[in-house]
Amino acid sequence: MRRIYYLSTCDTCRRIMKETGTEGFELFDIKKENISASDLDLAKESIGSYENLFNKRAQKLKKNGIDLTTKSENEMRTLILGEYSFLKRPVYFIDHEVFAGNSTATVSAIKEQLGV
């Protein structure tokens, strides 16, 4: 399975996708179609926790007064499924590996996995 969950209005997502290429990937703009529960659960299994998939810089956290330190894994899962901006992005599904976020290390790992 090769999928990319991204935000079409995010310059960083677009830059990373340009660097890695998108040929052979199913593309999902999370603003139009949020990540499915099954894909989110699969990503959690690969990455280790919903917290690691959570965009801790989302503006809606502050706007809604959400304190992540008090949230359980299931509560974080529910938040991500309910609001696209809470998903760390982009999220790459490359065969049996999942990569989330835009850190230099993550982008390098994606490129290495793709042989780019």
Indicate which CATH number applies to the domain containing 64. Answer: 3.40.30.10
The confidence score (pLDDT) of residue 39 equals: 97
Q: Which residues span the domain enclosing 36? A: 2-114
The confidence score (pLDDT) of residue 53 equals: 97
Count of domains for the chain: 1
Which residue stretches of 36-103 are H helix?
A: 37-47, 59-63, 73-82
Contact 107, 73 (CB under 8 A): no
The confidence score (pLDDT) of residue 107 equals: 97
Q: What is the mean pLDDT of the chain?
A: 96
> For 7-50, what is each residue's pLDDT tens digit?
999 999 999 999 999 999 999 999 999 999 999 999 999 999 99
Mean per-residue pLDDT for 97-107? 97
Instruction: Write down the pTM of the prediction.
Output: 0.93
